[in-house]
Amino acid sequence: MPRSVYAGKSQKDPLIPTIYVRLKLIGLQGQLALFLNSPAHLNFFSYIYVLTMRKIRIAIIGCSPEDQKLSYLGIRWTIRGLISKKIAEFAQEKGYEIEPMLFWPAGKKTDYPKPGTYDAVIIPGSRLNIDAEGRKENPWMEGLLHFIRVVVADPNIPVLGICFGHQAIAVAHGSVIRKLPKQFFYEVGYQRVRMTSEAKNDELFRDFPMRFEGLFSHFCYVSTPPENSTVLAYGLIPDMIHAYRIGTSVWGVQFHPDFSDTTIAEMVDEKKLWLAKLMDLSKIVTVNPARQDHKILLNFLEHAVKIKQKYS
């Protein structure tokens, strides 16, 4: 933080002498002296500092094969682009600025952000599964698990895993991923989420009711808690973990706060000929006017801003 923002004495800012000397060479010393001795100097640097603290660099790690695309707002987006767009909308509401950084290790095995270049990480959904079978078929996932372990080890980097990302973080911390039982097969549309008592004071689930409906699309689930985690929510069956937290800044959620009703409806439509043979499509609920699960993205964003302000 620039000392001059609060000290009110420009000579305490280590950048000022350098700037002063350089400007003297081009005849602007007097103008700079007036500026540094005026209230405008403090206001200017305060403004720059506030802007810096409210700008969040979010690394979005794409895990979809063939650069999977979905519809949102009438446009086809990659999943990386979709979540970037979605979180930018929430950021605008709160006056934050998001700098999305899109990576795609599913297509480029070593495409990960370098340490120190991001403030938060989001690992969104994928058509792939990260159970034992899925990892065997997709060797690049081992690199993803290594990246996750490295990032999670830094308490100053908030991480959010969504659906596939939720399962990937769990696998990186010892969880077992199972396919849904035959009677469920595919959990899709709005489904009940049961919060635990530990979720009441959680930063992502604050103000959520103990029972709410999340927007789902998955064939596998986290069946055992990740190491050193707190389970925040369960699903339709007793061991189906729908949300957890590791430490104070790492979360996984099985539902999709990033998807719209239209997105899920389109996914069901794409699979309808196949799904109709296995389940009653008329029971899939893809519209919920009282939806609350999307607030997870906003709460995560606010947490990332708070962490950046605390450690910067």
Task: Kindly state whether residues 10 and 103 are assigned to the same domain.
Answer: no
- Whole-number Cα distances in Å, 135 to 22, 60, 70, 108, 257: 57, 20, 24, 16, 25
Pairing outcome for strands 229-234 and 187-195: antiparallel
- Of the chain, the end-to-end C-alpha distance in Å amounts to 7
Task: Kindly state whether residues 134 and 69 are assigned to the same domain.
Answer: yes
What pLDDT digit, counting tens, does each position of 293-312 carry? 989 998 999 999 999 888 76
Confidence of residue 95 (pLDDT cuts 50, 70, 90): confident
Strands (E), the chain: 55-61, 69-72, 75-78, 97-103, 120-123, 159-162, 177-179, 187-195, 211-218, 220-222, 229-234, 241-246, 250-253
Tell me the C-alpha distance between 11 and 34, whole Å. 13
Task: Kindly state whether residues 72 and 158 are assigned to the same domain.
Answer: yes
What pLDDT digit, counting tens, does each position of 168-209 carry? 999 999 999 999 988 788 898 999 999 999 999 999 998 899
Task: Kindly state whether residues 174 and 95 are assigned to the same domain.
Answer: yes
Mean residue pLDDT of the chain comes to 82
Task: Kindly state whether residues 204 and 108 are assigned to the same domain.
Answer: yes
Task: Kindly state whether residues 97 and 130 are assigned to the same domain.
Answer: yes
Residue 17 sits in which domain range? 4-50
- Please check whether residue 250 is in contact with residue 158, taking contact to mean a CB–CB distance below 8 angstroms: yes
* CB neighbours of residue 296 within 10 Å: 22
Determine the Cα angle at 43 with ends 40 and 46, to 5°: 150
The two structure tokens encoding residue 262 = 């239209």
Task: Kindly state whether residues 165 and 185 are assigned to the same domain.
Answer: yes
**Average pLDDT of the residues in 60-74:** 76
Tell me the C-alpha distance between 294 and 156, whole Å. 24
Domain count, the chain: 2
Task: Kindly state whether residues 101 and 85 are assigned to the same domain.
Answer: yes
Confidence of residue 269 (pLDDT cuts 50, 70, 90): confident
pLDDT score, position 38:
54
Q: 284 in helix, strand or coil?
A: coil
Task: Kindly state whether residues 114 and 143 are assigned to the same domain.
Answer: yes
pLDDT score, position 93:
78
Q: What is the CATH number for 99? A: 3.40.50.880
Selection from 108, 88, 106, 85 nearest residue 97 by Cα: 88
Task: Kindly state whether residues 134 and 277 are assigned to the same domain.
Answer: yes
Name the burial class of residue 283, with classes exposed (0-12), middle (13-18) and buried (19+) by CB atoms within 10 angstroms of its CB. Answer: exposed
Name the burial class of residue 66, with classes exposed (0-12), middle (13-18) and buried (19+) by CB atoms within 10 angstroms of its CB. Answer: exposed
**Average pLDDT of the residues in 66-77:** 68
Task: Kindly state whether residues 28 and 176 are assigned to the same domain.
Answer: no
What pLDDT digit, counting tens, does each position of 22-61 carry? 334 444 444 544 445 555 544 544 444 444 456 889 999 9
Which residues 6+ apart lie within 8 Å of 187 measured at CB? 180, 216, 217, 218, 219, 221, 235, 236
- Please check whether residue 233 is in contact with residue 191, taking contact to mean a CB–CB distance below 8 angstroms: no
Task: Kindly state whether residues 219 and 128 are assigned to the same domain.
Answer: yes
